[in-house]
Amino acid sequence: MTEQWGVRIPLSEGETVRRELIASGVVDRTLRPRVEDGYLLVPGVEEIENAVKLEFGENSVREELPRHEQVGGLVILQEDDVEGAKKILRNRPNAHTALFATSPVEGEFRTRTFKVLAGENTTQTLYNEYGKRMVIDLSAAYFSARLANERQRLVSQMGENEYILDMFAGVGPFGVTLGAKAGFMVCNDINPHAVYLMQQNLAMNHIQSVVPMVGDAKNLPEMLNGMKFDRIIMNLPFTAYEFLEAAAKLAKPSCTIHLYSLVEREGEHLDDIKKAFPGATVTEKAIRSYSPTSWHAVYDIVIG
């Protein structure tokens, strides 16, 4: 505690008077106002009118942090900045590791390589999305929290006992979120490590209606031996539209397909969609911007 000049304001007028004092530039912002016996005690920078010496706690000074995003206990910095990484971990008690991506999202598995800047030597963490827990490992399998709201949107659209297929399921965030309400769901990915993590995620969330599968999505019609679905999720942003013909073979006569794609103009994939699903009703929505000239879009394709 620090002794400083301060004023005692009856609580009923406390906020109004405090704002007036701030506007007059006489409030000491390094100290914390406090309440005592029905009065708000406001620290001043000098001996202002009616001021008396009072005790105040210090305001914690927030450290300026480098730009970063946080996924579970991992923070990912935009710069290769070890000191900045340590500073972030000091200020984020729930983060255990600070990373810098040394590659873009690349390859068939859509993964990145990372340098550990500070904290534990790992790219794995536990992530919580709307109460569902998931193990993710950013160098082994793709994961992004940016579609969290999309997952909630799809759950809210679902009917009872739907048959659902996720063609590019990664570590299973759609499976974990939609699986509890689905009658039956297949979550497929070509990356075996993603499916290994998906199995853990399904078990951790007690989801029993989802079957994990490893395979190339273009072979799904044969692999699934004629099985058909009420809802199909296609989240492979650069090339999902190339799998529309396969999706058409997997759709029930009445089906909703959610195609996620990075686009540079509205209606970019409409021709491909109309070719695979003639007569479908298509709604396109921008989800978030990706670069100055492109954005992440979702096409909801309703047939039947």
Stretch that binds ligand SAM, among 65-73, 140-148, 200-208, 248-256 (CB under 6 A): 140-148
Beta bridge partners of 125: 136
Pick from 97, 125, 177, 191 the residue near ligand SAM by CB under 6 A: 191
Contact pattern from residue 38 through residue 77 relative to ligand SAM, giving x for each residue in contact according to CB under 6 A and a dash for the rest: ----------------------------------------
CB atoms within 10 A of CB 63: 9
173 makes contact with ligand SAM (CB under 6 A): yes
170 makes contact with ligand SAM (CB under 6 A): yes
Contact pattern from residue 195 through residue 224 relative to ligand SAM, giving x for each residue in contact according to CB under 6 A and a dash for the rest: ---------------------xx-------
Q: Which residue is nearest to ligand SAM (CB)?
A: 170
Q: Look-up: residue for tokens 């984020």?
A: 92
Task: Report the alpha-carbon angle 61-66-72, nearest 5.
Answer: 95
Stretch that binds ligand SAM, among 119-127, 168-176, 195-203, 285-293 (CB under 6 A): 168-176
Dist. CA 161–CA 127, nearest whole Å: 27
173: phi then psi, degrees, rounded to nearest 5: -60, -35
Closer CB to ligand SAM, residue 97 or residue 177?
177
Dist. CA 145–CA 148, nearest whole Å: 6
Rounded least distance, CB 75 to ligand SAM, Å: 19
231 makes contact with ligand SAM (CB under 6 A): no
Closer CB to ligand SAM, residue 166 or residue 230?
166
- Annotate 24-44 with b (16+ C-beta within 10 A) or e (fewer): eebbbeebbbbeeeeebbbbb
236 makes contact with ligand SAM (CB under 6 A): yes
Dist. CA 99–CA 123, nearest whole Å: 8
Dist. CA 86–CA 91, nearest whole Å: 9
Q: Burial of 82 by CB count in 10 Å (0-12 exposed, 13-18 middle, 19+ buried)? A: middle
Is-contact 170 189, C-beta < 8 A? yes
Q: Look-up: residue for tokens 């000239």?
A: 293
Stretch that binds ligand SAM, among 67-75, 82-90, 102-110, 277-285 (CB under 6 A): 102-110
Closer CB to ligand SAM, residue 27 or residue 232?
232
277 makes contact with ligand SAM (CB under 6 A): no
142 makes contact with ligand SAM (CB under 6 A): yes
Query: Which stretch of DSSP H or E encloses residue 82?
Result: helix 82-91
Residues within the interface to ligand SAM (CB under 6 A): 108-110, 141-144, 147, 168-170, 173-174, 188-191, 194, 216-217, 235-237
